[in-house]
Amino acid sequence: MMQEVKIAGSRIGALIGKGGATKKELETKTCTKITIDSKEGIVKIEGSDENTVPLLRAVETVNAINRGFSPERAFTLLDDEDLLLDLIDLSGLADGPRHMERLRGRIIGRDGRARGQIENMTDVEISIFGKTVALIGYPEQLKVARTAIDMLIEGVPHESVFAFLDKKKKEAKQNLISYYY
């Protein structure tokens, strides 16, 4: 079985890694064969027909690297099968390059503080790259992080978004306590 992924030229080096180390590690961990056409930006990932899960995880990891995650952060997808990659496409929401920059700026925040706060309060990894926001996390946490990002995109003040996140974090902690007692 084979899958093809288009990757940005600027991310090919990150996928290959120093001396091909990242590509080799990804092939080893997923039992796949990866071929990279750096001129066209096409990555071919081949896996066994019997078990497609490693192939799909390899594709997801390549997509994560393509969306701006470092290989180390993207490889967390291979370490835990419950982790998911979620993409938010901002291109349909912005009516021009300045509006796109404003949306990205609201999500990132001053000195990256808004993004950092969302990451800390939801345990979700966030990468803002080009016209997308990529998230790696568990389904429930992704839902909360995505809601917070949607709120920022809609223009909700940062303080209100952080209050929402704080409330969700307390609810999650309360649910965890009642689950164990």
The predicted-structure confidence for 18-49, as pLDDT tens digits, reads as follows: 999 999 999 999 999 999 998 999 999 999 88
pLDDT classification of 65: cutoffs 50, 70, 90: very high
pLDDT classification of 175: cutoffs 50, 70, 90: confident
CATH 3.30.1370.10 describes domain 2-79: yes
**DSSP-derived 3-state class of residue 157:** coil
- Tens of pLDDT, residue by residue over 82-119, are 999 999 999 988 888 999 999 999 999 999 999 999 99
pLDDT classification of 180: cutoffs 50, 70, 90: low
pLDDT given at position 179: 64
**What's the mean pLDDT when you consider all of the chain?**
93
93-114 burial code (b ≥16 CB/10 A, e <16)? ebeeeeebeebbebbbbeeeeb
> What is the percentage of the chain residues whose pLDDT exceeds 90?
85
pLDDT given at position 30: 94
CA–CA distances in Å: residue 6 to residues 44, 68, 107, 150, 169 = 9, 14, 26, 26, 36
> Given its phi and psi angles, is residue 110 left (phi above 0), alpha (psi -120 to 50 degrees) or beta?
beta
CA distance 174 to 149: 23
Mean pLDDT of 141-152: 96
DSSP string across 68-125: T--HHHHTHHHH-TT-EEEEEE-TTT-SSHHHHHHHHHHHH-GGGHHHHHHHHHHT-E
Fold of 84-180: Ribosomal Protein S8; Chain: A, domain 1 (3.30.1370)
pLDDT given at position 10: 94
Structure tokens, 24: 């080799």
Residue in 36, 27, 29, 31 with CA at minimum distance from that of residue 4: 36
CA distance 11 to 115: 21
Q: How many CB atoms lie within 10 A of CB 65?
A: 28
pLDDT given at position 105: 95
List every span in the chain annotated with CATH 3.30.1370.10: 2-79, 84-180
